[in-house]
Structure 1
Amino acid sequence: MIRFGYGTNGFANHRLSDALDVIAGLGYTGVALTLDHHHLDPYADGLGQRVAKLADRLRTLGLGVVIETGARYLLDPRRKHAPTLLDDDRDKRVDFLRRAVAIGADLGAEAVSFWAGVRPGHVDPALAWERLVDGCTRLLDTAHGPPLGFEPEPGMLVETIDDWRTLRRMLGEPDGFGLTLDIGHCRCNEPDPVPDCVAAVAEHLVNVQIDDMRRGTHEHLEFGEGEIDFPPVLRALADSGYRGLVAVELPRHSHAAPDVAARSLSFLRHAEQTSAHRPEALPARPPEGGRT
């Protein structure tokens, strides 16, 4: 059985404690925790005590956890996602990622996920790759905790699975450097069918995000609103031997988080059941109806 989780970046209007209660109450078995100013701020006072309290809460709720590091304005209130590992002031990103790994270790996280960032216009591609390799190396040198899951992200320096393979080779194919795979991204910009993408990288998967998407458009959509046929994707995940979390990634749906999370889990469970019994695609809409 696939272990479905939900991302806290889709609960941006909730206190973290309330978000966890809703997610667990709906029947999810894990959470993808985006460290942010309102959700376990890694720079606020009393971090150790807050992490310990959260670890206890996760155990009580029976939630596994992965750490996500895609907060938009945590490091710079004026520049979205900045600084990245490609920027002139990239040391701040390295420090943040090291904090994320330490927090992940204390929480018993299954993975810590991160990405390259968009190449700044004044940084040529060769220097951008050099900076990325250096940043990843520095993180690997100090990471004594959960495996790292590097995520190819449309529009960033590393945006495809092939780009991730290139980075991994440049790093010397180190242990502990795995892949975060966003299922929607596979539909958005990978040339192969989504189930084939899953099968091709199965041995490297440490974290999976799931959402619907359309070819060529990087927009995270509710299930049934994009172009992905999910039963074959879930079958590919089950057949791959991956046992980590498969967490819903809907960062722009916080305005209706409880309802969206409920619909998403219902859809995914139905898709999983369908994948086990017949090859046909699901109907275009979730079984209990459309959005409200």
Structure 2
Amino acid sequence: MSLRFGYGTNGFANHRLTDALAVIADLGYEGVALTLDHHHLDPYADGLVERVAKTAARLDELGLAVVVETGARYLLDPRRKHAPTLLDDERGLRLDFLRRAVAIGADLGAEAVSYWAGVRPSTVDEATAWGRLVSGCAEMADAAERAGVVLGFEPEPGMLVQTIADWFRLRADLGAPGSFGMTLDIGHCRCLEPDPVPECVARVAPHLVNVQIDDMRRGVHEHLEFGDGEIDFPPVLRALADGGYGGLVAVELPRHSHAAPTVAERSLNFLRAAEQTGRRGDDRG
């Protein structure tokens, strides 16, 4: 089974969304990870219903699958990155945003809507923060089930849920709802997980609904182009295929918008070559 590669629109921040989608499709990607932001399908701007419908039609015309990402940096607060989160006192704004993302995801026919916990505020103790996260995620799971949307919750370095083990704890506390899956960033596995990256993939394969891919170094949360970090990708891609993962594997390079078309082309060429190398390794095995 061939993997389906996509590219994240947060790596096309200097492009109009319509132009970014066209470039991504022309390069040969099969999907897009669409980060809702003030310049890309702003969920708070006027004419949302019409804009979502036009985006859905354009995605269909280009043959692009889509997942919805919610990691915009300053959409909700122009002064505080990623704020407010589900852990903050004023978390209602984050819940509203996530509900909007679920509705947009449903209208786009998205394969998943991805989100994360956030960084625990220094004024909030860990038990309170965890309780807020569980209750917020329970609300989102209910909303997703009603909308027929799958959620991909992402462990993120430095956040309250930052490891695969943290994700399993959260899932258990939620009662393992059917709408609650995992978004896995391959780079994060190298950054902080104790096990080799292919083993991380195999461990979570039954729960994967969304995969982000980038290179990274141990202990450093910096999204790098392929070959600039420490990850050996053929075994990773082979692990995804062996695990039966059929969702998008979307390149996550949010700091490379200055050279987006070139970086996107290099990335797809790298991934295709790595996938072929992984298959040959399987054949030899």
Equivalent position to 2:228, from 222, 225, 230: 225
Task: Tell me the amino acid that sits aligned with residue 270 of structure 1.
Answer: A
CA RMSD of aligned residues (A): 0.9
User: How big is each residue's C-alpha offset from its partner over 1:4-23, in whole Å with a ceiling of 9 and x where there is no partner?
Assistant: 00000000000000000100
Identity of aligned residues (%): 78
CA distance in 2 between partners of 1:161 and 1:140 (Å)? 19
- Map of 1:178 onto structure 2: 181
User: How big is each residue's C-alpha offset from its partner over 1:41-76, in whole Å with a ceiling of 9 and x where there is no partner?
Assistant: 000111000011111100010000000000000000
- Map of 2:248 onto structure 1: 245
User: How big is each residue's C-alpha offset from its partner over 1:160-218, in whole Å with a ceiling of 9 and x where there is no partner?
Assistant: 00000000011111111000000000000000000000000100000000000000000
Conserved? CA contact 1:104–1:145, under 8 Å: no
Q: How does 1:86-97 map to 2 (within 5 A)?
A: 86-97=87-98
Could you list the structure 1 runs, at least 4 aligned residues long, displaced by more than 2 angstroms after superposition.
none
- Map of 1:152 onto structure 2: 155
- Map of 2:101 onto structure 1: 100
- Map of 2:264 onto structure 1: 261
Aligned length: 280
In the TM superposition, what is the alpha-carbon distance from 1:278 to its structure 2 partner? 2.6
Matched, 1:45 2:46: yes
User: How big is each residue's C-alpha offset from its partner over 1:77-109, in whole Å with a ceiling of 9 and x where there is no partner?
Assistant: 011000000001001000000000000000000
Task: Tell me the amino acid that sits aligned with residue 188 of structure 2.
Answer: H
Q: Which stretches in structure 1 are left out of the alignment for 5+ residues?
A: 280-292
- Map of 2:117 onto structure 1: 116
- Map of 2:201 onto structure 1: 198
Matched, 1:30 2:38: no
CA distance in 1 between partners of 2:249 and 2:281 (Å)? 21
- Map of 2:140 onto structure 1: 139
Secondary structure (helix, strand or coil) at the match of 2:101 reads helix
- Map of 1:187 onto structure 2: 190
CA distance in 2 between partners of 1:142 and 1:71 (Å)? 21
- Map of 1:288 onto structure 2: none
> More deviation in 169-178 or 220-229?
169-178
When the two structures are superposed, what TM-score results if normalisation uses the length of structure 2? Answer: 0.97
Secondary structure (helix, strand or coil) at the match of 1:206 reads strand
CA distance in 2 between partners of 1:194 and 1:141 (Å)? 32
Secondary structure (helix, strand or coil) at the match of 2:255 reads coil
Secondary structure (helix, strand or coil) at the match of 2:33 reads strand
Task: Tell me the amino acid that sits aligned with residue 219 of structure 2.
Answer: G
User: How big is each residue's C-alpha offset from its partner over 1:130-177, in whole Å with a ceiling of 9 and x where there is no partner?
Assistant: 000011111112222320000000000000000000000111111110
Task: Tell me the amino acid that sits aligned with residue 168 of structure 2.
Answer: R
Q: How does 1:153-168 map to 2 (within 5 A)?
A: 153-168=156-171
CA distance in 1 between partners of 2:187 and 2:71 (Å)? 16
- Map of 1:210 onto structure 2: 213
Secondary structure (helix, strand or coil) at the match of 1:278 reads helix
CA distance in 1 between partners of 2:241 and 2:143 (Å)? 32
- Map of 2:75 onto structure 1: 74
Task: Tell me the amino acid that sits aligned with residue 55 of structure 1.
Answer: A
CA distance in 2 between partners of 1:67 and 1:158 (Å)? 20
Task: Tell me the amino acid that sits aligned with residue 39 of structure 1.
Answer: H
Secondary structure (helix, strand or coil) at the match of 1:227 reads coil
In the TM superposition, what is the alpha-carbon distance from 1:241 to its structure 2 partner? 0.5
Secondary structure (helix, strand or coil) at the match of 2:184 reads strand
CA distance in 2 between partners of 1:36 and 1:142 (Å)? 21
Q: Which stretches in structure 2 are left out of the alignment for 5+ residues?
A: none
